[in-house]
Copies of this chain bind each other. A is one copy, B any other.
Amino acid sequence: MSIRQSLLALLEQEPMYGYQLRAEFESRTGATWPLNVGQVYTTLSRLERDGLLEAAGQDDDGHAVYRITPSGRDEVRAWFATPVSRETPPRDELAIKLAMAVTVPGIDVRAVVQRQRTATIRALQDYTRLKAEAPEPAADGDLAWLLVLESLLFAAEAEVRWLDHCEARLARVAGDRRESAESGSDVTTIEEVRR
């Protein structure tokens, strides 16, 4: 649902062609969410069918260029004016998995949590490194990518906190007194990841 709007928003700046749209989208979001070219074309077709875009012939290099229509501009304005609804949030595979894990018998939920924690910490480290390598935001594109990266960081941090919370709750439910598993050299706290 967001690709459609994004393409429209990009075309608000100037008419573009398919490959260019993908490039512009990815330069603003980094390699985080690679966008399939095929999808760009099919989405453009639907947008044209719905009257939000129109084919604008070819540019100097012979590219098939699309131009936004007035209704398209309205759509973009409406998109930015309306907050993303958090009433029915997108399904979170991890939350679903844990919800199933605690109800299905014979599953070692603590192990599931620990494995996920390791994976998420690794992601957190990757993001932190990427951020360290990122340029000071000069162009708007740099700023956009930085904001996206930071949103991933915040989300991953929250996920780790939630996993720790789950671990604690599971320990309490199991009624077992944790032997305070300091494994020693493992990176454990979010502060350590931040360096």
Q: Mark A103-123, 1 if CB is under 8 A from B, else 0.
A: 111010000100110111011
| A85 surroundings in chain B (CB, below 8 A) | 119
Of A86, A122, A148, which is in contact with the most chain B CB atoms at under 10 Å from its CB?
A86
Contact A141–B29 (Cβ < 8 Å): no
Roughly how many angstroms separate A13 CA and B103 CA in the complex, as a whole number? Answer: 9
Q: Does A131 sit within 8 A of B, measured CB to CB?
A: no
Give the bracket for the number of chain A residues in contact with chain B: 35 or more
Bound complex: CA of A1 vs CA of B105, how far in Å?
A: 22
For chain A residues 160-188, which have a beta carbon within 8 Å of chain B? 161-162, 165-166, 169, 173
Which B residues are CB-close (under 8 A) to A46? Answer: none
Quick check: A29 and B84 within 8 Å, CB to CB? no
| CB of A129 closer than 8 Å to a CB of B | no
The interface centre, meaning the residue of A90, A107, A151 with most chain B CB atoms within 10 A of its CB, is: A151
Do the beta carbons of B89 and A152 come within 8 Å of each other?
yes
- Which residues of chain B are within 8 angstroms of A10 by Cβ–Cβ distance? 100, 104
A157 CB–B CB distance under 8 Å:
yes
Main SS of chain A's interface residues?
helix
A143 at the interface (CB under 8 A from B): yes
Establish whether residues B147 and A86, one from each chain, have CB atoms under 8 Å apart when the complex forms.
no
Cβ of A132: which chain B residues have Cβ within 8 Å of it?
A: none
Q: Within the complex, which residue of B13, B123, B144 is in contact with A86, where a contact is CB–CB below 8 Å? A: B123
B158 close to A93 (CB less than 8 A): no
The answer for the CA separation of A95 and B156 in the assembled complex, in Å, is 14
A176 to chain B, nearest CB (A): 15
Distance in angstroms between the alpha carbons of A5 and B101 in the assembled complex = 11
Q: Give the complex CA separation of A150 and B6 in angstroms.
A: 31
Chain A 81-101, CB-CB to B under 8 Å as 1, else 0, gives: 111111111111111111111
